[in-house]
A and B are shown apart, each in its own frame.
Chain A
Amino acid sequence: MIMKIGVLALQGDFAEHISMLKRLGVDTAEVRLPKHLDGLDGLIIPGGESTTIGKLAVAYELLEPLKQFGREHAIWGTCAGAIFLSKDVSRDQPLLGLMDIKVQRNAFGRQVDSFETDLEIDELMRVTGTEHLYHAVFIRAPLIESVHGDAKILSALDDGRIVAAQEGHLLATSFHPELTNDTRFHEYFISLAS
């Protein structure tokens, strides 16, 4: 049976994630209401505005179903999605609190400070059997300030600041693999979902 991955489609660049998944031959679904989670093997929470996504998730009673889904299935949050997955963002906004990580929003400054850079991500290279660096796109990006409990660091900048973390089948990245042509992160997530 072909794997089916949903993408939370409340707001943000969900279409970019869906086209990446389609390139990898996976079935996809847009998730806007709790019933759309039925039959999914994993879920991606895209980039966008985390306050918008959080408010719409509350309004359409998605918080509890998403938490329940995340206890059993893989979820990956990119940028706003990483914020939404975390336990603590030092401000009052709706969160899933599934990952034991502390996140700082807009940690690098404003849009003119948004940047692209190359990352060395050992686990990604190992799983995908590749050797070249991962080119990452950060947009008004959050930073993972600290990881706790079972959460572990997947990647950090040269100065040690954390930009990707994993806790079992849950994945958080500050950057946007869906805006590149490099499918390795999506392949890595599919390996977590299967």
Chain B
Amino acid sequence: METKTGTWIEKKGLAQMLKGGVIMDVVNAEQAKIAEEAGACAVMALERVPADIRADGGVARMSDPDMILKIIDAVSIPVMAKCRIGHFVEAQILEAIGVDYIDESEVLTPADEEHHILKHNFKVPFVCGCRNIGEALRRIGEGAAMIRTKGEAGTGDVVEAVRHARTVIGAIRQLQTMGDEELMTFAKNNGAPYELVVEVKQTGRMPVVNFAAGGVATPADAALMMQLGVDGVFVGSGIFKSGDPARRAAAIVKAVTHYQDASILAEVSKNLGEAMVGRNVSQMPEGEKMAGRGW
């Protein structure tokens, strides 16, 4: 029998297995175990969570492969890791050490200010950030097998996550009402590949799984994103920058499963201790925002 690996169905399929789940940022094996114990469906291995990247400044790069391997050894759930936008050699390294998903991420300092990685060249699947449907479909055109709305990482302010999710999901709804002859102009105006625009109109949904990210700090934030129509959530700084990470992590997992049940949401929101301190995005200078990185 013929066996094939690294196919589009395989890449897209792993993201489908993550649906209805929470992917948590972790910086060492101990945090990875806390995340797994709390019910995370995957972890994102990185040296510094976005809140610390903001505080420290400087160039943010791919993490040390040794640190990622220690996390891979510590847990049985999938392990993701970040490379810089356009840095295809960092991606080759992450593929070589066996990460399950690569996040070509605006949270790190971009290595290329015009081009993203041609992700079809890899066997390992990629997730990429987006702020609108054009950006999402360009990334999918390059081979991203999963999308996340960007939000504004490391702030604990959900406002940008809401804006980006509403923008993407609103555009999908808008496409449903358009005539076929309008689609090429839609593709032109949004900088999106025409064939993918046609597919979204026909199916009424994104061609790949779409998570929310960037600013989710509470169970209510997570359920808000789910009710807006995303498939799951990434939580970065929101867990391990809070007062009681294990408890908050478990509460956010429950909130994503029971996102439509307000009495369960009330129960899991009780006594979580201090949320991450947070930064108000509306008072942040444009130059400090990460979401604008991506082309």
Q: Interface on A for B, CB 8 Å cutoff?
A: 9-16, 32, 47-49, 51-52, 55-56, 59, 79-80, 91, 105-106, 109-119, 133, 137, 139-140, 157-158, 176, 179
Contact = CB atoms under 8 A, between A and B. Distances in A.
13 contacts: A9-B257, A10-B20, A11-B257, A12-B19, A13-B17, A15-B19, A16-B16, A32-B261, A49-B18, A55-B37, A91-B76, A116-B7, A117-B1
Contacts of A112: 5-6, 95, 98, 123-124
A91 B13 CA distance: 25
A48 to B, nearest CB: 5
A51 B20 CA distance: 14
B230 to A, nearest CB: 13
B4 A111 contact: no
B3 interface: yes
B9 A49 contact: no
Contact of A111 (B14, B36, B37): B14
Given A51-B36, A56-B257, A59-B254, A137 B21 contact: no
B78 interface: yes
B13 A176 contact: yes
The bracket for how many chain B residues form the interface is 35 or more
Contacts of B9: 116, 137, 179
B156 interface: no
A118 B5 contact: no
Contacts of A14: 19-20
Given A10-B20, A48-B20, A119-B1, A111 B257 contact: no
Interface in B161-187: none
A123 B20 CA distance: 33
A179 B124 contact: no
Given A52-B41, A140-B100, A114 B77 contact: no
B129 interface: no
B117 interface: no
A111 B101 contact: yes
B125 interface: yes
